[in-house]
Structure 1
């Protein structure tokens, strides 16, 4: 089909593929952060200190970051549908192994974390799979809807702690494998690669994007927005339990409220960026996130105050995720799969840094403050960066598009 400009959002794309991409992304993200909501129970069973807790929840984030490079390349080379099927099978088999054979120690939980990283790497497959069906004026909305699969982190926070207490935390892995199997079947039925896939690239052409300075800016910007989102999503259950004494289930509910705010505002971020431009949106969102993280770093006296600040931070970060990926497909057309992987990798590394630094900060200083403060400083650096490139990007990115057809 031809992606003619002027068509409505629903007329211009392939809705079943958008649904398939969302479901794949959503339930994969549920699996990706599963160790966070179960972290209190796992840490008690394995007798983990704060630093090891931080590494436990951060390992899937780092693995997901690195595996996004693989998945981004696969999506470009063999198509998003085949890459998605392969990725889901790896996650399902890993969950089944943990359920059947158990998780006897810290090394085993780290091994499971690496396998769950493949679920986090779904990002580099789901978003290009959906976005390739849509013209530039609707890509922000398409990627925002597919990217709302961040909400899977809410499902993990809501249900995993209670299921772990009722049935045992290792059995939660078996339940997750069952859910992922259903999603895989739906994905096979609904997903379809867009006809306009572009020429297949060799490895040198994939690596060529690393020779473009814009790539590094995008890595910084997404490292803060998505890194902050997934780092907090993984760490908040343990944080609320340690800082405010919440029981595992209540800590999961409190975390779910924060994560829900961030995940639901990702598509709004895409829509907002389509309207006012991704650069303008990010210039507003980074300072908001930085201020909220500085506030929580001081160990607010009540859970209500902390929840309020975390919700504000997650709203800004989640909206920022959508805004960054309104800009990516405008800047990169043929390389969208591999660039999504590279930029997503930076986001995962940002999340690994935040989750692990919170654990080490608590271990070494007795407080989470330094972990939050350093990440707030990174958000401020991103704010400076987006304003440094503002004028150059607005001129260069709009070339080749009709005036007013896309906002930068």
Structure 2
């Protein structure tokens, strides 16, 4: 097998693992975004107002922030096989709960809990990194992420029709419950058909758990700084749900959440110190060092790419419906164009990263998406609908190619920490989504797109500080010997 080509028609070896894993991720995305294309029916059935609808969109991506961090640690420790199977199984029951909810409060709780399913992405990143070498990992991760991410487009295209087939005012409930049933069945299929590593390979685990390992004093403080936005995004969500926002929470509960988040942050800092206090005592040997700066840059790049995709996918069907006065089914199909590009754009982002270089590819992609969002911000009802759809798809190409380029780098930072690095970058995607959706609830859709474009420019500047992965990284085998892993 060449370094450039993957025989995707095969169903053996690492290609088999790739197909089984992207399908698991695909199902998690169908479940995660099964509400978006049905939101018009849900809104009408429960009599929700606009603020309640926007609150459900924000809640859907909130829990994913801590979930991706925690799941990243767990997958590094226990392996992707058991973690993906458990996530699918647990999420199916939360999905059933959402399907039978008959009040805004019940829906809000269910949607918040379903943010957990969004952590599935992190698990597959570690699985694919175990099965593919550095020269193929960008393309393999791109296929995994792109084809799996297509789950949101599949939901947008199929669930309104499925709800119509079930019929009646509760057709949307049966459509959503169906996605939960599929997740439950696939949990058992995945567990019985994959293994964590190729036969004879070692699954490297972190030396300590509870926080990511860093290898210098400067990285220790940068890690703490980069942890702050994860808690700030959750505080922003609490504010949105307080009397200052949609009044789902009382002011006292909101204050209690703020205090709890500060306490959790301090607890996290304590864990970061416990795991990394040795860097203050002695220097880590050069061979075992990695630069946390790489992680910080990838976090910001993913905030601009995936964070914006999550926000836009959530609001686009309703946006098209309101802007161009078309039906919910038509709006869902047209909006799916944004996520539809995942089939080719994420793999192409990974492939370009493998061939052109990691840093150059990220620079091109983020420049493209910044321009793309400026164009989307200029759409008005006077536009021809076909031009609006084409602009959306062009923008989404750069967004998702950028996501592929980010996760072409993630497995090349430090192998034993791949789950945690993927978890943190993934969580930053959700920080972006919560932030952008909160902005959307306060401003017009046009301003919302311009804010994303401005954020992309900041990420573009950060990417210029990233180091191109070169040479090898070192991991220690269980018997104490050092194994070198190519990253170039």
Report the TM-score, using the length of structure 2 for normalisation. 0.75
Contact 1:151 1:264 in 2 (8 A): no
Aligned residue in 2 for 1:75: 75
What residue number does 1:351 align with? 433
Cα contact 2:138–2:351 (8 A) shared by 1:
yes
- Structure 2 partner of 1:364: none
Residue 72 of structure 2 contacts residue 422 of structure 2 at CA under 8 Å; is this kept in 1?
Answer: yes
Other structure's SS at 2:131 match: coil
The counterpart of 2:177, out of the listed 171, 174, 179, is: 174
Distance of 1:230 and 1:183 partners within structure 2: 24
Structure 1: distance between partners of 2:414 and 2:52? 39
Which structure: greater helix fraction? 1
Cα gap change, 1:274/1:406 in structure 2, threshold over 3 Å: closer, same or farther? farther
1:9-408 matches, cutoff 5 A: 9=6, 14-99=14-99, 102-148=100-146, 149-167=148-166, 168-194=171-197, 195-206=201-212, 208=214, 210=223, 212-300=292-380, 301-302=382-383, 303-361=385-443, 367-387=444-464, 389-390=465-466, 393-394=467-468, 397-400=469-472
Deviation at 1:133, TM superposition (A): 1.4
Structure number, greater radius of gyration:
2
Residues 17 and 270 (structure 1), Cα distance of their counterparts in 2 relative to 1, 3 Å cut: same
CA contact 2:4–2:136 (8 Å) conserved in 1: no
CA distance in 2, matches of 1:33, 1:8: 32
Deviations 1:326-364 (A, max 9, x none): 111112222001111111000122122223322332xxx
Q: What are the superposed Cα offsets for residues 252-276 of structure 1, whole Å, 9 maximum, x if unpaired?
A: 1001122101343111111111010
> How far apart in 1 are the matches of 2:6 and 2:344?
19
- Any conservation in 2 of the 1:225–1:321 contact (CA below 8 Å)? yes
Distance in 1 of aligned mates of 2:470 and 2:187: 38
SS at match of 2:202: coil
Query: 1:109, 1:33 → 2: CA distance?
Result: 14
Instruction: After superposition, give the CA deviation of every residue in 1:231-250 in whole Å (9 maximum; x if it has no partner).
Output: 21111111111222221100
Give the drift of 1:5.
10
> Superposition RMSD on alpha carbons, in Å?
2.3
For these two proteins, the number of residue pairs brought into alignment is: 389
Give the SS at the match of 2:387.
helix
Instruction: Name whichever of 207-216 and 144-153 sits farther off.
Output: 207-216
| TM-score computed with the length of structure 1 as normaliser | 0.89
Find the residue that maps to 2:472 and give its secondary structure.
coil
Residues 42/6 of structure 1: CA separation in 2 closer, same or farther (3 Å cut): closer
- 1:108-158, Cα deviation, whole Å (9 max, x unpaired): 122121232122110111111122111111111221121120010111100
Structure 2 CA distance, aligned partners of 1:240 and 1:319? 24
Mapped to 2, the partners of 1:73 and 1:19 lie a distance apart of: 24
Partner Cα distance (1:230, 1:95) in 2:
19
**Shift in Å, 1:400:** 2.5
Residue pair 1:5, 1:135 contacting (<8 A) in 2 also: no
Q: Summarize the Cα distance change of 1:246–1:65 in structure 2 as closer, same or farther, 3 Å threshold.
A: farther
Flag the 1:30–1:294 CA change in 2: closer, same or farther, 3 A: same
Q: Which moved more, 1:30-39 or 1:110-119?
A: 110-119
Provide the rounded CA distance (Å) in 2 between the counterparts of 1:40 and 1:262: 25
Distance 1:205 1:267 in 2: 31
Q: Is contact 1:17-1:191 (8 Å) kept?
A: yes
Distance 2:322 2:5 in 1: 49
Instruction: Answer whether contact 1:220 1:346 (CA < 8 A) is retained.
Output: yes
Q: Where has structure 1 moved over 4 Å in runs of 4 or more?
A: 4-13
Q: Is the 8 A contact 1:29 1:150 kept in 2?
A: yes
CA distance in 2, matches of 1:254, 1:287: 25
